[in-house]
Amino acid sequence: MDKNLNPIDWQLVSFLLLAIYMATLAVEDIRHRRVSNRQLFWMVCLGVALNALGPHGSGEGLLTNHPGALGGRTALMGGLVGLVLLLPFYLVRAFGAGDIKLMAVLGTFVGPVEILGVTLSVLLVGGLFAILRLLWIHKTRLALVNIAGLLSSLTTGNEPAMDPSTQSVERMPFVPAIAVGSLAYGFWRWSGGAPLIHF
């Protein structure tokens, strides 16, 4: 990448590439209920390369009014933070492996600090999508019964009394929520909005 590239142009190109990739993966998840590891690998390479080879400017990253590449090492650290943030959700099977890998990919684009806000935005959008989907497929009551059963089992220590084969609410593809949540947060920050999480 040209080191003489204006940081604003670098930000625009980087955000556009990220948006294209996210839209592609969202469509793939809706159609096939999976995310290609090959696509994720190339996205990681792109995120690290953009931050390693891009103009440093103020060095505040992609999602800011003062853009600048963070450097390859910081991009990799962002990927690690993105992976770790959703790992507990994967361990309890709330998210698939592709979902947490994609959050790691996003971390390579935005860095270890901004991925915190991106993750919060993704979870909020995902929750909204889940509610709308339950209303659409008329399984809101079943979902509430399942949640009540799980909460009851946590307080009593007993196994949840539910049969997944008859009481399951279908898992929704989550990549569209990741795409909308991350891009919405990106536009929010790009337009001068304060980070959702800051130190």
The domain spans of the chain are: 7-126+173-190
| Cβ-contact 192, 67 below 8 angstroms | no
Q: What is the pLDDT of residue 102?
A: 93
pLDDT tens track for 59-116? 788 888 888 899 999 999 999 999 999 888 888 777 888 889 999 999 999 999 999 9
pTM here is 0.80
Q: CA-CA distance, 158 to 146, in Å (whole number)?
A: 14
Percent of the chain clearing pLDDT 90 (strictly above): 47
